[in-house]
Structure 1
Amino acid sequence: MTDTQRHKIEIAKDGFTTVDDVYSDKEIEHILSMIDQADNNKRTFRKSTELFAIRQLLKEIPEITNSVFNDSLKNVVSQIFGDNYFVVKSIYFDKPETSNWYVSYHQDLTISVDKKVELENFGPWTTKQGQYAVQPPIDVIENIYTIRIHLDDTDENNGALRVIPRSHLKKIYRPENIDWDTETETACNVKRGGIMIMKPLILHSSSRTTNNRKRRVIHIEFSNQELPTELKWSERMNFK
């Protein structure tokens, strides 16, 4: 079995997989330097003592795109997802060393779009920092892959994701309905320069930081599905 086959099987079966050594230390440092030099006064930048985040990262810092989509990442996307996938969302998360920020178990049920329109089976709607988000029909969510690029070594002590394997197979799975007599959780430890690939419907959470180490991640979502003509993906981008 090849690595690609193994990753495909793990994603289909468990809802996630990890790939090591997608980026070198030099590539990571270059990405971080471009983020550090960006103008953080824009409305898509959110900064507090517990979190620094940049929504629409690839739009706000377009010069970072070529560095993020190095040959290794493009090969991963092509081999595991297919050749017709494109970017639909990008976010940078920085959980500082002293962060007590905790995210409880949830599924990623919304997509980012260009405007709010009334469409059957699209809703509810939310708006964050001027960005429209909506819960689409379940088949749209099932078609998405998420890649989390780890810019630091990450384990359960500095906010590595905890997931419930196979929960993505249960469609909408409310956290209050988790049956801990039958479910187990797994911490997704990832080394700096590695990536985690996950399906948005997998139940996932993030613990508080306890070891005084940063956890910086670039979150990118991919789809190969077009939306109804009335709507557009707000960050649709071909990266090849």
Structure 2
Amino acid sequence: MQYAAYKPEVASNGFAVIENIYSEDERLQIINVIEGTDTSGDTFRKSENLFAIRQFVKEIPQALPLIFNEKLRQVISQVFGEDYFIVKSIYFDKPGGSNWFVAYHQDLTVSVDKKTDVDGYGPWTVKQNQFAVQPPLHILENIFTLRLHLDDTDINNGALKVVPGSHAKGIYRPETIDWQTETEAICNVPAGGLMIMKPLLLHSSGRTTNNNNRRVIHIEFSNHPLATPLQWAEKMIY
């Protein structure tokens, strides 16, 4: 399969959608592994409107060989290269009755192993004992995100809305979006498909209106080190 054709699309628009990364059997195997996991730990967040697993690949390592099948490995190597590693992973389950939405934003923080003063890094946050910090722009520009969809996703159950090309404009405050010049795209992704996204791409997600789940595995990759002594908190070779 030739996935290199998506490389200029990601570079220009900041995102791309690729269908049929997982067969129906592979998709169900991944779901079964997730559903069979003990969810009592600190990295699991459960509520009426959301179920999330932070540090997903560390919490459920048995899912890795299922997720990184031959097609996904080809996507990564052909679009980005061979030297990337995982730096962050989250699993989201947005239930069918969910009524929450996420306004337009960029993903501006990375997960690190400790909090320490380093030039160019800040501000800092902590979520569930995990340190996060905004790094220098070149670190953010290097990251790419894969969003693996376990359910059919469209505008009715929270498909991402994005501003094409916004990833190339540095830190872009959503309150400054000029809709006279910018456009909006809706990223429909079928079950078993993949969305590639640059974290600086402005994106948002609406409420669910069709009672269908939206289960997504979100994995971020980089091939850059952080400034000493900081380390990627979730660095993993896949």
So what's the TM-score if we normalise by structure 1?
0.97
* Equivalenced residues, count: 238
Distance 1:54 1:193 in 2: 19
For 1:28-43, what aligned pairs fall within 5 Å after superposition? Answer: 28-43=27-42
1:46 corresponds to which letter in structure 2?
Answer: R
For 1:47-126, what aligned pairs fall within 5 Å after superposition? Answer: 47-126=46-125
Q: Is the 8 A contact 2:124 2:134 kept in 1?
A: yes
Which residue is 2:129 aligned to? 130
Distance 2:3 2:26 in 1: 23
Distance 1:117 1:76 in 2: 35
Distance 2:206 2:212 in 1: 13
Which residue is 2:168 aligned to? 169
**CA shift digits 1:147-191 (9 cap, x unpaired):** 000000000000000000001111000011000111111100001
**CA shift digits 1:98-148 (9 cap, x unpaired):** 000100000000000111010000000000011110000000000000000
Which residue is 1:210 aligned to? 209
Give structure 2 stretches of 5+ with no counterpart: none
Cα distance, 1:5 vs. partner?
3.8
4+ long deviations beyond 4 Å: none
Which residue is 1:190 aligned to? 189
Distance 1:193 1:92 in 2: 15
Which residue is 1:221 aligned to? 220
Distance 1:154 1:229 in 2: 40
Distance 2:149 2:204 in 1: 16
2:104 corresponds to which letter in structure 1?
Answer: Y
Cα distance, 1:9 vs. partner?
0.8
Distance 1:179 1:3 in 2: 36
Cα distance, 1:229 vs. partner?
2.5
Cα distance, 1:3 vs. partner?
5.0
- Classify the secondary structure of the residue corresponding to 1:12: helix
2:202 corresponds to which letter in structure 1?
Answer: L
Distance 2:179 2:108 in 1: 22
Q: Is the 8 A contact 2:4 2:75 kept in 1?
A: no
